[in-house]
Structure 1
Amino acid sequence: MDVRLKAFTEALESLSYLTEVDMAALAAHLDKRLIDALDNGKAQKFEYTLELCWKAIKVALKEQEGIDEASPKKVVKAWYLAGHLPEDDYLALLAAIDDRNKLSHIYDAEEFMAIVARLPAYARLMQRVNETLNC
């Protein structure tokens, strides 16, 4: 297994776990600052995992299709055009990349929490991508 694919798989397992934690239940017992820190940690883990995701796709794209793209969106598009992703997952990956890029520049708590709320769906999306990479 390629080192990037292994790192992606391990990061994805961690992100998937974090996105399944019942934050509302924790909020009843923990200080709101700790909940905020956990949400920030989930966002950071998402950024890291998505970075590993597109880089694992890049390696597979080069090995399987002989295509060498450089940017995340071009890599994802080429993987989709090569028939490895359904259109819905392709569009969702583009949205995930946009959200990852926004996280570096968000200063609005409401917008940040909207992205955090999408993280479980993004984790499931990356699990489907991981399955295509492991075939």
Structure 2
Amino acid sequence: MEDRLKYKTKQLKKAVNDLGVSLTINTNLMAPEVIDTIKSGQVQKFEVVVDLLWKTLKIFLYEINGIIENSPKKVIKKYFQIEECEYSDYEWLIKMINMRNELSHIYDSEKFEQIHSLLNEAFTVIKRVVKKI
């Protein structure tokens, strides 16, 4: 069974690396249309990472701790309850699920820019959580 966790963790680490690379792009001298496209790609990579992250935590909970949870927020809450992360990271993980949901279900350019401005901070938390898995 742990092969499933290893496989999902490998996928997650690749996606996290891809997100990290995309966040290093310097857009200062680029046209607004190019900047918008890059931001859209960064946000899409963030959405993929958040989805892979909670699903990897779900497998981790089951394979390592025998805990079954199915919704993203319940998985993250249980992950925190078994003392695998600090409260501040727990809050960020919940916030990231909310951010992903907002991006997926409602498009509002102001909300998009607000979420995009938080990607570097979210990325720091993501790396910390992935390191512990």
Match of 2:14 in 1: 10
Preserved contact between residue 89 and residue 125 of structure 1 (Cα < 8 Å):
yes
Paired with 1:93 and 1:67, the residues of 2 have a C-alpha distance of 19
Paired with 1:86 and 1:14, the residues of 2 have a C-alpha distance of 25
Secondary structure class of the residue paired with 2:118: helix
Match of 2:125 in 1: 125
Preserved contact between residue 106 and residue 112 of structure 1 (Cα < 8 Å):
no
Match of 1:110 in 2: 110
Match of 1:61 in 2: 61
1:41-120 counterparts in 2 under 5 A?
41-120=41-120
TM-score (normalised: structure 1) = 0.90
With a CA cutoff of 8 Å and minimum separation of 6, indicate the structure with the bigger relative contact order.
1
Q: CA deviation at 1:117?
A: 0.7
Secondary structure class of the residue paired with 2:17: helix
The answer to which of 106-115 and 88-97 deviates more is: 106-115
Preserved contact between residue 18 and residue 42 of structure 1 (Cα < 8 Å):
yes
Q: Give the unaligned 5+ runs of structure 2.
A: none
**Runs (4+) off by over 4 Å:** none
Secondary structure class of the residue paired with 2:105: coil
- What is the aligned-residue identity percentage? 33
Letter in 1 for 2:65: E
Secondary structure class of the residue paired with 1:85: coil
Letter in 2 for 1:17: V
Alignment RMSD (CA, Å): 1.2
Corresponding residue to 1:21 among 3, 20, 25: 25
Q: CA deviation at 1:17?
A: 1.7
Preserved contact between residue 15 and residue 42 of structure 1 (Cα < 8 Å):
yes
Secondary structure class of the residue paired with 2:90: helix
Letter in 1 for 2:124: R
TM-score (normalised: structure 2) = 0.92
Count the aligned residue pairs: 129
Letter in 1 for 2:35: I
Q: CA deviation at 1:49?
A: 0.7
Paired with 2:79 and 2:48, the residues of 1 have a C-alpha distance of 20
Q: CA deviation at 1:41?
A: 0.5
